Amino acid sequence: MTRRVGVVRFPGTNCEFDTIDAIRMLGGDAEILWHGDPSLKNVDAIVIPGGFAHGDYLRCGAIARFSPVMGAVASFAQEGGPILGICNGFQVLTEAGLLPGALQKNVGMKFLCSMQQVEFVSTQNILGRGSEVGDHLQIPINHFEGNYVCSPEVLSRIETREQIVFRYTDNPNGSTKDIAGVCNEAGNVVGMMPHPERATSALLGSSDGASVIKSFLS
């Protein structure tokens, strides 16, 4: 059966339709979940896509996390539902406390849009199916606040519990331990700064993101 994915749209979100396109191309089905509507429309999985929810004002994700839909997303997470936060979505999930740590400004104090190589550090999560630890993927990044930080205690906890999902092989933004993506303890909520939906076609430069999205859809 085709997976139905809900893609959350806040005011300021801009990757929602790209994400839907990629999901559909890879065999899933997808529809928009409006931030002001607490209903999840019985979807099987949720993506919080990239963009600038609420203009990224105050802090990325700070305002978005109070949206009516986010209460439902939190319960969905609790029940083990698969949730993927991409870029701004990752920021929203950390602000909402569904993922550990925080994302602050890149060390170079510049927005960065470029192809990046990331490595699978753990496959014990909704994105790892069909991949091996150590697999390398070419996936673009596109962010100003992608510099992952957390307290030393949190870091050692996520390291021992294999919650680090991706690492950059050439750290572009100063992230602690080159972290590019993390998951919650159960592995059903993942946040990543790179944009897998932008790496689903050779015509556009890479299709390495397809495996990640396919795993999410399975």
Which amino acid is present at 6?
G
Residue 71 within binding range of another protein, rule CB under 8 A: no
Backbone angles phi, psi at 85, to 5 degrees: -105, 125
| Span of 72-80, 104-112, 121-129, 130-138 interacting with another protein by CB under 8 A | 104-112
CB atoms within 10 A of CB 99: 26
Catalytic-residue membership of 87:
yes
Question: What is the distance of C-alpha 32 from the center of its chain?
Answer: 16
Residue 56 within binding range of another protein, rule CB under 8 A: yes
Is 181:165 a contact under the CB 8 Å cutoff?
yes
Residue 12 within binding range of another protein, rule CB under 8 A: yes
Is 85:104 a contact under the CB 8 Å cutoff?
no
Restricted to residues 149-178, the positions that interact with another protein (CB under 8 A) are 149-151, 174
User: Which of 95, 164, 187, 214 is the binder for another protein (CB under 8 A)?
Assistant: 95
Catalytic-residue membership of 60:
no
State which residue, 94 or 163, has the beta carbon closest to another protein.
94
Least spacing, CB of residue 160 vs another protein, in Å:
19
User: Which of 3, 4, 17, 44 is the binder for another protein (CB under 8 A)?
Assistant: 17
Distance (Å, whole) CA 182 – CA 165: 5
User: Which of 3, 4, 105, 161 is the binder for another protein (CB under 8 A)?
Assistant: 105
Distance (Å, whole) CA 192 – CA 179: 9
Distance (Å, whole) CA 51 – CA 68: 19
H helix runs in 79-145, sequence order: 88-95
Least spacing, CB of residue 123 vs another protein, in Å:
26
Element spanning 189, H or E: strand 189-192
Interface ranges with another protein (CB under 8 A): 11-12, 14-15, 17-18, 21-22, 36, 51-52, 54-59, 62-63, 66, 94-95, 101-102, 104-114, 140, 142, 144, 147, 149-151, 174, 195, 197-198, 200-205
- Which residues form the catalytic set? 87, 195, 197
